[in-house]
Amino acid sequence: NAGVTQTPKFQVLKTGQSMTLQCAQDMNHEYMSWYRQDPGMGLRLIHYSVGAGITDQGEVPNGYNVSRSTTEDFPLRLLSAAPSQTSVYFCASSYRQQGFDGYTFGSGTRLTVV
């Protein structure tokens, strides 16, 4: 089925470890983004990309890195995990043309940093 696929679904990391959250979409969407969801804070934008080779920072980029080498994939890297990065992470994608239809979200990655 077409959509946004996130892996893994669950992850426990130790403080200081690094890891990559994977996101892939098969809808040929130009726009992709990463959000984190924390209780009482809604979703906050970490990084986004308007196309392959183009990325930019969102509201809470510190401690995260992204790259976009293909249209399909948009991995999120945690450089040195901290307990403050315990959260649920969502990847989203959309077409970028006029008549924006809203984003398609993945099912999330629940990350715990101990």
Partner 1 sequence: AQSVTQLGSHVSVSEGALVLLRCNYSSSVPPYLFWYVQYPNQGLQLLLKYTSAATLVKGINGFEAEFKKSETSFHLTKPSAHMSDAAEYFCAVSDRGGTASKLTFGTGTRLQVTL
Binding site for partner 1 (CB under 8 A): 4, 30-31, 33, 35, 40-45, 48, 50, 58, 90, 92, 94-103, 105-108
Which of 59/80 has CB closer to partner 1? Answer: 59
Q: Shortest gap between Cβ of 66 and partner 1 (angstroms)?
A: 14
The two beta strands, 19-25 and 10-13, are: unpaired
Separation CA 97–CA 8 (nearest Å):
30
Q: Shortest gap between Cβ of 82 and partner 1 (angstroms)?
A: 23
Report the Cα–Cα distance between both ends of the chain, in Å, rounded: 35
Q: Which amino acid is at 47?
A: H
